[in-house]
Amino acid sequence: MTARFTLYSRSWCHLCEDMLAALQQLAPPGAPFEVDVIDVDADPALVARFDELVPVLYGRLEEPELCHYFLDEAAVRAYLDRTATQPTPA
pLDDT tier at 14, thresholds 50, 70, 90: very high
**CA–CA gap between residue 19 and residue 54 (Å, rounded):** 10
Pairing of strands 4-9, 56-58: antiparallel
Predicted confidence (pLDDT) per residue in 39-85, tens digit: 999 999 999 999 999 999 999 999 999 999 999 999 999 999 888 77
Q: Which of 45, 57, 56, 46 is nearest to 4 (CA)?
A: 57
**What's the pTM?**
0.89
Q: What does the DSSP 8-state code read for residue 88?
A: P
* Residue ranges covered by each domain of the chain: 4-84
Check: CATH 3.40.30.10 for 4-84? yes
